[in-house]
Amino acid sequence: PVGDRKYKRILLKLSGEALMGEQGFGIDPVVLDRMALEIGQLVGIGVQVGLVVGGGNLFRGAALSKAGLDRVTGDHMGMLATVMNALALRDALERSNISSRVMSAIPMSGVVEHYDRRTAMRYMEQGDVVIFSAGTGNPFFTTDSAACLRGIEVNAELVLKATKVDGVYSADPVKDPSATKYDWLSYDEVIENKLEVMDLTAIVLCSDHKMPIRVFKMDKSGALLNIVVGGEEGTLISE
């Protein structure tokens, strides 16, 4: 049902933590397989998929810095962690017969391809899932910013941010039972109310380029597919 899709090209951001499942560290192969299945459904209806994966399940520069490491070194470690996650994700996708590529913002000849925008777009056009790894390639940024950056660069129509909860709430719904969910927010509302959706850099970038963001729950089976056919999942952030 190719005609059913609302979006032709999307950029999906998966946090590193989403890959570790119930464990406290590392990668859970069962979770990877489930993600591959959900992503495969998009590819199946002809949606072009770009992925940006985080590294928080392995290393975060800010946390390493707190423990005494140099911040830039820590950020480099964090970016390398995202490459490891990307390799694991590609492996899971390929095992599900979904053709995929890993590109890295940091050249890593012999392991993954170096990021090139036009090549990435060509891969997506031919139906390959492209996993953008190593974030932006620069310290002091996050993979949320990388997701927005790559999404804008490759002309994706929507940035999808997979989270643990099914959208953006007025407070943490786990801690505060009176927290309410927003169906829609403007970029300015997110910024003014300091809602913890993505870091400020990422939101401002999307706002400047009018890139809509949808925050949704990855664990909810079928949610991803529902979004690309125009369903109302989670929270939409737009102009």
Interface with ligand UDP (CB under 6 A): 15-17, 54-56, 60-62, 74-75, 78-79, 81-82, 135-136, 138-139, 141-144, 146
Whether 184 contacts 233, CB under 8 Å: no
Helix (H) or strand (E) run with residue 213 in it: strand 213-217
Q: Is 15 annotated as a binding residue?
A: yes
Q: Is 16 annotated as a binding residue?
A: yes
CA atoms of 81 and 89, how far apart (whole Å): 12
Q: Which two tokens stand for residue 50?
A: 């770009």
Q: Which two tokens stand for residue 209?
A: 């380029």
Amino acid identity for residue 29 in this structure: P
Identity of the residue, 45 or 77, whose beta carbon is nearer to ligand UDP in the bound complex: 77
Q: What share of the chain is helix, strand, coil (3-state, %, to 5)?
A: 40, 20, 40
Q: Is 222 annotated as a binding residue?
A: no
Q: Determine the distance from the C-alpha atom of residue 132 to the mean position of all C-alpha atoms in its chain, rounded to a whole number.
A: 9
CA distances from 140 to 10, 119, 145, 205, 219 (A): 25, 26, 10, 15, 29
Residue 127 Cβ vs ligand UDP, minimum distance, rounded to whole Å: 26
Sole residue written with tokens 């400020």: 200
Residue 78 Cβ vs ligand UDP, minimum distance, rounded to whole Å: 2
Q: Is 141 annotated as a binding residue?
A: yes
Identity of the residue, 47 or 162, whose beta carbon is nearer to ligand UDP in the bound complex: 162
Residue 60 Cβ vs ligand UDP, minimum distance, rounded to whole Å: 4
Q: Is 138 annotated as a binding residue?
A: yes
Residue 136 Cβ vs ligand UDP, minimum distance, rounded to whole Å: 3
Identity of the residue, 14 or 47, whose beta carbon is nearer to ligand UDP in the bound complex: 14
| Angle between helical axes of 200-208 and 143-153 (0-180°, round to 10) | 10
Identity of the residue, 135 or 167, whose beta carbon is nearer to ligand UDP in the bound complex: 135
Half-sphere exposure of 156 (CA within 13 A, CB side): 31
Residue 218 Cβ vs ligand UDP, minimum distance, rounded to whole Å: 12
Q: Is 55 annotated as a binding residue?
A: yes
Binding-site residue positions for ATP: 13-16, 56, 60, 163, 169, 172
Binding-site residue positions for UMP: 55, 75, 136-143
Binding-site residue positions: 13-16, 55-56, 60, 75, 136-143, 163, 169, 172
